[in-house]
Amino acid sequence: MLNFDLQNHKPLREIVYEELKRQILKGEIAPGHRMMEVELADDMGVSRTPVREAIRKLEKEGLVTIEPRKGAYASDISIKDMVDVLEVRQYLESLAAGMAAVRITPEEKQQLQEATDAYKQAVESEDTSEIIKWDENFHKIIVDCKTLIQMISQVQELALRFRYIYYDDFSRYKNQPLEHQEIEEAIMSGNADKAREEAYAHLARLKEFVMMQGDKIVKGGQ
């Protein structure tokens, strides 16, 4: 059942859309899971109409697949999908890191430091929920410094869905706090070239990990 906030003036169809999108991105609705309008509407305490509208909108974003005479399913995830997203992130986020090194404010520096520290602590405690939260925050802070946010936001949303899959394997992520720290230090020092290099290398290593693990990652998250 949806918890409707009286202060939330969004249309019902938008609230339902955001909730279904959240569930897909976080893996609560698993890849390949059939999305039954009646069942979803009952669970949320709404009519089928906003659910149907939300599903159609999610289809346009590639998060839902609608098959004639079969119904709607949360879109499957392939290694190619993950690699494609990581390649886009490599170029856009390395550019953002270089720009951040030149333009970051003292307040943003503090936020970046806090995210780096919190992420390291989460990895050490192997708290998957906190790891994903602070990994996402770290990269968003860098991008939020710049006008690239609108270009990268959809890519980062897809990346969030993938995080819930590949964070099942901690073998790759033991070195990630150090990689985040190297990006942070380059930005803090104002070294734009170094910041771009470290951000690009960070995502290149993640892409290599995804390619090497292959089906193991996808199957492990389903």
pLDDT of amino acid 57: 94
pLDDT of amino acid 212: 79
Beta bridge partners of 67: 71
Distance, in Å, from the CA atom of 15 to the CA atom of 151, rounded to the nearest integer, reads 23
Question: Exposure pattern of 170-196 as b/e (b: 16+ CB <10 Å)?
Answer: eebbeebbebbbbbbebbbeebbebbb
Distance of CA 54 to the CA centre of its chain: 20
pLDDT of amino acid 6: 46
DSSP state, 63?
Answer: S
Give the residue from 129, 148, 160 showing the smallest Cα distance to 63.
160
> Digits of tens for pLDDT over the chain (222 positions)?
666 554 467 788 899 999 999 899 888 898 899 999 999 999 999 999 999 999 999 998 889 999 988 899 999 888 888 889 889 889 989 999 999 999 999 999 999 999 999 999 999 998 888 998 999 899 989 887 555 676 677 777 778 777 777 666 556 667 789 999 999 999 999 999 999 999 999 999 888 888 877 666 555 444
Q: Which residue has the tokens 């893996």?
A: 27
